[in-house]
Structure 1
Amino acid sequence: MNITTLATGLKFPEGPVVLPNGDVLVVELLRGTLTRVTPDGTTSVVAELGGGPNGAALGPDGRVYVTNNGGMLGFEVGGFTWASGIASDYVTGSVQAVDLTDGSVETLYTECDGQQLRSASDLVFDAHGGMYFTDYGKSDGVTGDKGRLFYAKADGSSIRMLTGGMEGPNGIGLSPDGTRLYVNETFTARVWWWEVAAPGEIKGGLSLGGSGGGNFLYTAPDYTNFDGLGIEADGNLCVASMVHAGISVVSPEGELVEFVDINVGNDPGITNICWGGEGLRTAYITASSTGKLLKVDWPRPGLTLNYGPDGQPSGNAE
Structure 2
Amino acid sequence: MKITKLADGLLFPEGPVALPNGDVLVVEIHRGTLTRVAPDGTTSVVAEVGGGPNGAALGPDGRVYIANCGGMHRFEVGGFVFAGGIPADYTSGSIQAVDLSDGSVETLYTKDDDGRDLRGPNDLVFDAHGGIYFTDYGKSDGDTCDKGRIYYAKADGSSCKTIAAGMEGPNGIGLSPDGERLYVSETYTARVWWWDVTGPGQIVGGKSLGGSGNGNFLYTAPNYVNFDSLGVDAHGNVNVASMVNAGISVVGPDGKLVQFVKIDVDDDPGITNICWGGKDMRTAYVTASSTGQLLKIEWPRPGLKLNYHDA
**Is the 8 Å Cα contact of residues 20 and 278 (structure 2) preserved in structure 1?**
no
> Secondary structure of 1:278's match?
coil
CA shift for structure 1 position 87? 1.1
**Is the 8 Å Cα contact of residues 67 and 94 (structure 1) preserved in structure 2?**
yes
> Secondary structure of 2:6's match?
strand
What TM-score do you get using the length of structure 1 for normalisation? 0.97
Question: Is 1:131 matched up with 2:132?
Answer: yes
Pairing 1:72-87 to 2, within 5 Å after superposition? 72-87=72-87
Once residues 206 and 117 of structure 1 are traced to their aligned partners in structure 2, the CA distance between those partners, rounded to angstroms, is: 30
Amino acid at match of 1:145: D
**Is the 8 Å Cα contact of residues 233 and 303 (structure 2) preserved in structure 1?**
yes
> Secondary structure of 1:289's match?
helix
1:24-64 CA distance string (max 9 Å, x none): 00000000000000000000000001000000000000000
Partner residue, 2:57: 57
Once residues 218 and 46 of structure 1 are traced to their aligned partners in structure 2, the CA distance between those partners, rounded to angstroms, is: 37
1:64-87 CA distance string (max 9 Å, x none): 000000010000000000000111
Partner residue, 1:109: 109
Once residues 196 and 208 of structure 1 are traced to their aligned partners in structure 2, the CA distance between those partners, rounded to angstroms, is: 15
> Secondary structure of 1:280's match?
coil
**Is the 8 Å Cα contact of residues 209 and 215 (structure 2) preserved in structure 1?**
no
Partner residue, 1:143: 144
Question: Is 1:46 matched up with 2:46?
Answer: yes
> Secondary structure of 1:5's match?
strand
> Secondary structure of 2:280's match?
helix
Partner residue, 1:315: none
What TM-score do you get using the length of structure 2 for normalisation? 0.99
Once residues 36 and 195 of structure 2 are traced to their aligned partners in structure 1, the CA distance between those partners, rounded to angstroms, is: 33
Once residues 229 and 87 of structure 2 are traced to their aligned partners in structure 1, the CA distance between those partners, rounded to angstroms, is: 21
CA shift for structure 1 position 163? 1.1
Once residues 240 and 19 of structure 2 are traced to their aligned partners in structure 1, the CA distance between those partners, rounded to angstroms, is: 22
Once residues 97 and 265 of structure 1 are traced to their aligned partners in structure 2, the CA distance between those partners, rounded to angstroms, is: 34
1:252-275 CA distance string (max 9 Å, x none): 000000100101000000000000
Question: Is 1:201 matched up with 2:171?
Answer: no
Question: Is 1:304 matched up with 2:300?
Answer: no
Partner residue, 2:263: 262
Partner residue, 2:155: 154
1:166-208 CA distance string (max 9 Å, x none): 0000000000000000001000000000000000000014214
Partner residue, 1:278: 279
Once residues 37 and 218 of structure 2 are traced to their aligned partners in structure 1, the CA distance between those partners, rounded to angstroms, is: 34
Amino acid at match of 1:52: G
Identity %: 75
Once residues 286 and 262 of structure 2 are traced to their aligned partners in structure 1, the CA distance between those partners, rounded to angstroms, is: 12
**Is the 8 Å Cα contact of residues 174 and 231 (structure 2) preserved in structure 1?**
yes
Partner residue, 1:88: 88
Partner residue, 2:292: 291
Once residues 211 and 67 of structure 2 are traced to their aligned partners in structure 1, the CA distance between those partners, rounded to angstroms, is: 25
Once residues 173 and 136 of structure 2 are traced to their aligned partners in structure 1, the CA distance between those partners, rounded to angstroms, is: 11
Amino acid at match of 2:220: T
> Secondary structure of 1:217's match?
strand
**Is the 8 Å Cα contact of residues 238 and 253 (structure 2) preserved in structure 1?**
yes
**Is the 8 Å Cα contact of residues 206 and 214 (structure 1) preserved in structure 2?**
no
Partner residue, 1:98: 98
1:241-299 CA distance string (max 9 Å, x none): 11000000000000000100101000000000000012000000000000000000000
Once residues 176 and 19 of structure 1 are traced to their aligned partners in structure 2, the CA distance between those partners, rounded to angstroms, is: 19
> Secondary structure of 1:212's match?
helix
Once residues 257 and 42 of structure 2 are traced to their aligned partners in structure 1, the CA distance between those partners, rounded to angstroms, is: 36
Partner residue, 1:238: 239
> Secondary structure of 1:173's match?
strand
Question: Is 1:210 matched up with 2:180?
Answer: no
Amino acid at match of 1:191: V
Partner residue, 1:316: none
Once residues 26 and 152 of structure 1 are traced to their aligned partners in structure 2, the CA distance between those partners, rounded to angstroms, is: 22
Amino acid at match of 1:165: G
Once residues 122 and 77 of structure 1 are traced to their aligned partners in structure 2, the CA distance between those partners, rounded to angstroms, is: 24
Unpaired runs of 5+ in structure 2?
A: none
**Is the 8 Å Cα contact of residues 7 and 41 (structure 2) preserved in structure 1?**
yes
Query: Runs ≥4 in structure 1, deviation > 2 angstroms?
Result: none
